[in-house]
Every structure is written in structure tokens, then in C-alpha cells.
Amino acid sequence: MTLTHIDRGDARIVTVHAPRIDAAMAIGFKEEMRGRTEDTPNRIILDMSGVAFIDSSGLGAIVASMKQLGPERRLDLAGLTPSVDKVFRLTRMDTVFRLFATPQEALDVSAC
Amino acid sequence: MDCTAQMSIAGLTAAEGRRFLYSGPANNATSRHAIQSVIAWLADAGLAGEARGDVEIALAEAVNNVVKHGYCGVMAGRMRLDCRLTGQALQIDLTDNGPGLPGGAPPKQRNIDLSVARDQLPEGGFGWLLIRRIADEVDYARCGESNVLTLRFDVSRDNAEQ
């Protein structure tokens, strides 16, 4: 599991460089996210465009990563591929996270 | 459903449609390989991408349940995937030798309450919801020392990808 990040203003774009976030990867993802978001400003935008598949463990790890940020910061998602988008829609987690087509679209929207 | 009826539920013979069998240990690494083998077989059989994606989601959840709960930490667990495809349906029978499902049946689909405060959001419990939302039929039987979970998907092979 590799995550990279760049900062843009008050947002940090974290890119996931793994084709799957599943049961085997979920704990590692959560821990890496914790490390990369400890000292960040208001917003994390998670670029998921490289991820072709998540299962419920992967979804849970993303929810856990959001909860790790605490009430003052938000986690937005960008670039969900069709199968990943479907998991969010079927579980109605698309009502909990803001989903954007690209990180740039997410940046163009205000942080609130 | 009784166990003898279960194997003939699709009425498939070797002559109609295609069949894929996988049998192996039930752990995270092997299960990922097993699922991807099934999906590759479906691609080869001409099943469209979105349908394959749906099957992958439901199958991954079912297999994860076997790996996570089926053996309670015992390393020697095995599982078997018996996949049969016709022009109308895909049927997958997942067999394992772990403990039976609590209550003798899969959990009924339930809505997940997402109206809670952010720090109360669930991080799990989505698996059966995803299975039931995607598979057209879900059946379960405890046969001796085995569990057989049957997932059935209506498919249309007219949607074959180029």
C-alpha cells in the first residue's frame, strides 16, 4: 500500500497507489492514513482514481480514516472508479462522504 | 433447502454453459487469488464489465466471511467455489467447513443507520447488505459439517465486451 500526498492551500491531496483496498490491505491503509494526516490542515482529498476495487473492509478503513481526523477536519473522495462508486452507493455511504470526479473538482469547491 | 436439492438447483449439466471450480485454503491471500480467477473466467466467458464488477463485490464479501468467521483462527480451513454460467444465470456455490451461520441463516438485509454522529459511523457490517443488494438470490444450507452458500445472479450474455 503506497500513499503519496501534495498540499494545495488548506487541503492535502492523498493519492492511493494500490489497485485494491480489501481485507488484506485495510489495516495497513488505515495506519498509513493516520500517519499522513496527523499534521494536516482542514481538508483531506483522497484521490481514489487508481483503485479499481474495494470491499467492505476497505470501506470500513476509509470510514475509520475519516473518524481519525476528528470533528474539525473533513475527508472528501475523488476519482471513484465504477465498482468502488457502486460500493459507496449500495451502502449509502455516498451520503456521508462528498464524492468528486477529480481532485481539482474537490479543490474548486469550498472546504465547508 | 435440503442438501441434495441444492446441487441441482440450477439444472445445469456439463453440456450447457460453462463451469469453473476452485478448491483451496481459505485465507486472505488465497481468497483474493480465487476471486480474481473467477472474474477472469467470467471475462473469458464474455460477461460484461459492470456485471463482473458486481459479482466480484458480492463474492468478495461472501469469501471474506468464510476467511474471517468460518474458521475462528484455525489455519487449516478450506473452501470450494463451484461456478456455473449459462446464458441466463451465474450460480456460485461457496462451500466451507467452518462453523454454521448463527441462527442457521444469513442475516436479513438491514439498513445501516447513517444518521448518527460522525464519530459513531459504523466501520463494518456492510458485507451481507452488499451481498443481498447485488445477488438476485441468496441461499444457505448446512450440510453435515459443511456450509454451502449459493449466490445466483441473473446475467445477459448479450452484453459481452469487445
Flag the least confident range among A19-28, A100-109, B28-37, B71-80.
Answer: B71-80
The whole-number pLDDT of residue B69 equals 77
Q: Give residues with Cβ within 8 angstroms of A104, minimum separation 6.
A: none
Indicate the pTM of the whole model.
Answer: 0.89
Q: B70 pLDDT band (50/70/90 cuts)?
A: low
Nearest residue to A97 (alpha-carbon basis) of A78, A72, A76: A76
3-state secondary structure of B43: helix
pLDDT in tens, A63-83: 999 999 998 899 999 999 999
Q: Which of residues 6-35 of B touch A (CB under 8 A)?
A: 28-29, 31-32
Nearest residue to A54 (alpha-carbon basis) of A79, A27, A88: A88
Helix (H), strand (E) at residue B134: helix B127-134
pLDDT in tens, B83-132: 999 888 999 999 999 888 888 888 886 678 888 888 899 998 899 999 99
Q: B80 pLDDT band (50/70/90 cuts)?
A: very high
The whole-number pLDDT of residue B160 equals 52
* Contact indicator for A91, B130 with CB cutoff of 8 Å: yes
Q: Give residues with Cβ within 8 angstroms of B7, minimum separation 6.
A: B93
Give yes or no for B88 touching A (CB within 8 A): no
Bridge-based pairing state of the strands B78-85 and B89-96: antiparallel
Which residue in B has a C-alpha nearest to residue A52's C-alpha? Answer: B53
Among A22, A56, A63, the residue with its CB nearest the CB of B130 is: A56
User: How far is the alpha carbon of A59 from chain B, nearest alpha carbon, in Å?
Assistant: 7
User: How far is the alpha carbon of A16 from chain B, nearest alpha carbon, in Å?
Assistant: 19
More confident residue, B2 or A32: A32
3-state secondary structure of B162: coil
3-state secondary structure of B105: coil
